[in-house]
Amino acid sequence: MSNKLAVTGLNDPIAQTLFIPLYMKSCQSKLKDAFFSDPWACALIEQFDYDFSSFDQSVLSSVGVAIRAGYFDRLTADIIAAAQSCVVVNLGAGLDTRFQRVQMLMGNTMEDKAWFYNLDLPEVIALREQLLPSDSCETCISASVFDSDWMDELNARHQGATFVFIAEGLLMYFDNCQVQQLLQELASRFPGCHILFDGISRWMRDNSDNHDSVKYAGAGFKLALDSPREIEQWHGKLKVISVAHYADFKEWKRVGFFNYLLSKYIPKYFHSSFLVHACIEQS
């Protein structure tokens, strides 16, 4: 069996990386002492005739993916709970099941209050619609995250709603100029919105060839932010609300004693990856 993710039929190397978090979410969900649950990922991964064993030793990524997904799920649920109406846009959604997981967290309290959009390249959305049919509160958008047409359409369709844009496992594959342009486009259209994303330092970018899971895919890291607050210089209304690092979470101890100590106490490793909750200030 080929050990290339391209066997899935996706041509874009960044699109191919969607199988990495999907597999890791399923693995973490199956653990007897799991701290993260995604039964939909478990079901989806069984539908692919592919040998994912290359990623079985990627402990750092596996635990990190589950921490990241759970953290963004909880933030999303909190934002929805505080809003009168909410629009959640999953950028580069792949086969992520955020709607299902947030609904599992919130139960009936989310009903008739939130709309979810899953945005990705056309070839990915075609695969998603085949394997993961949308709920009545979900809509798929076939587009690049850098297109502005979908932004204008959603802005006109949901006037007055609180927007949440989630870029999970996405922005690090694009350079700073592209990410800056995206955030500026969002800032000019969606005052009061929330933006959740994960980023990496310059050191992590420069060492992506050694990353325990990305090295098996055809895409490398490009984004480099030595401080997440660098993005505040990109637009006057763009503000960072909070920054979390993986070693801040007690679940990170699952990566092993040595890896945990490095991540917790050596600044280069501690600041190499981070989870950001940002917002666009109201006028």
pLDDT (tens digit, 9 = 90+) per residue, 208-254? 665 544 555 555 789 999 899 999 999 999 999 999 999 999 999 99
> Is 2's pLDDT higher than 50?
no
Domain coordinates in residue numbering, the chain: 12-280
**How far apart are the C-alpha atoms of 85 and 196, rounded to whole Å?**
18
pLDDT (tens digit, 9 = 90+) per residue, 131-152? 998 888 999 999 999 999 999 9
Pairing relation of β-strands 138-142 and 162-167?
unpaired
Please name which of 15, 21, 61, 55 lies closest in space to residue 38, comparing C-alpha atoms.
21
> Is 172's pLDDT higher than 70?
yes
- The structure tokens listed for 207 are 């060492």
Residue with structure tokens 């994912």?
52
**How far apart are the C-alpha atoms of 145 and 205, rounded to whole Å?**
21
Q: Which of 3-7, 70-74, 88-92, 272-276 has the lowest mean pLDDT?
A: 3-7
Averaged over 14-18, what is the pLDDT?
65
Describe the crossing of helices 149-157 and 176-189 by its angle, rounded to 10 degrees. Answer: 30
Q: What angle do CA 154, 179, 164 make, to 5 degrees?
A: 35
Would you say how long the chain is, in residues? 283
**How far apart are the C-alpha atoms of 275 and 41, rounded to whole Å?**
22
| Residue 14 pLDDT | 59
- Between 264 and 53, the more confident residue is 264
DSSP notation for 249-263: SGGGGGG-HHHHHHH
**How far apart are the C-alpha atoms of 117 and 132, rounded to whole Å?**
13
Domain spanning 12-280, CATH architecture? 3-Layer(aba) Sandwich (3.40)
Q: Which of 6-10, 21-25, 165-169, 277-281 has the lowest mean pLDDT?
A: 6-10
**How far apart are the C-alpha atoms of 132 and 57, rounded to whole Å?**
28
41 Cβ contact partners less than 8 Å away, ≥ 6 residues apart:
22, 23, 25, 26, 29, 95, 97
> In degrees rounded to 5, what are phi and psi of residue 155?
-60, -40
What 6-14 contacts at long range (C-beta under 8 Å, 24+ apart), as own/partner pairs, is: 6/218, 7/50, 8/48, 8/50, 8/127, 9/123, 9/127, 10/123, 10/124, 10/127, 11/123, 12/121, 12/123, 12/124, 13/217, 13/218, 13/219, 14/92, 14/173, 14/219
3-state SS assignment for residue 167:
strand
pLDDT (tens digit, 9 = 90+) per residue, 88-127? 999 999 999 999 999 999 998 888 899 999 999 999 999 9
Q: Are 119 and 182 in contact (CB under 8 A)?
A: no
CB atoms within 10 A of CB 159: 6
Averaged over 17-45, what is the pLDDT?
93
Percentage of the chain beyond pLDDT 90 is 73
- The structure tokens listed for 174 are 């694009």
For residue 133, how far is the Cα from the chain centroid? Answer: 20
| Residue 5 pLDDT | 39
> Is 8's pLDDT higher than 70?
no
> Is 87's pLDDT higher than 50?
yes
| Residue 6 pLDDT | 43
| Residue 220 pLDDT | 78
pTM: 0.92
**How far apart are the C-alpha atoms of 160 and 157, rounded to whole Å?**
10
Q: Which of 27-36, 45-54, 232-241, 266-275 has the lowest mean pLDDT?
A: 45-54
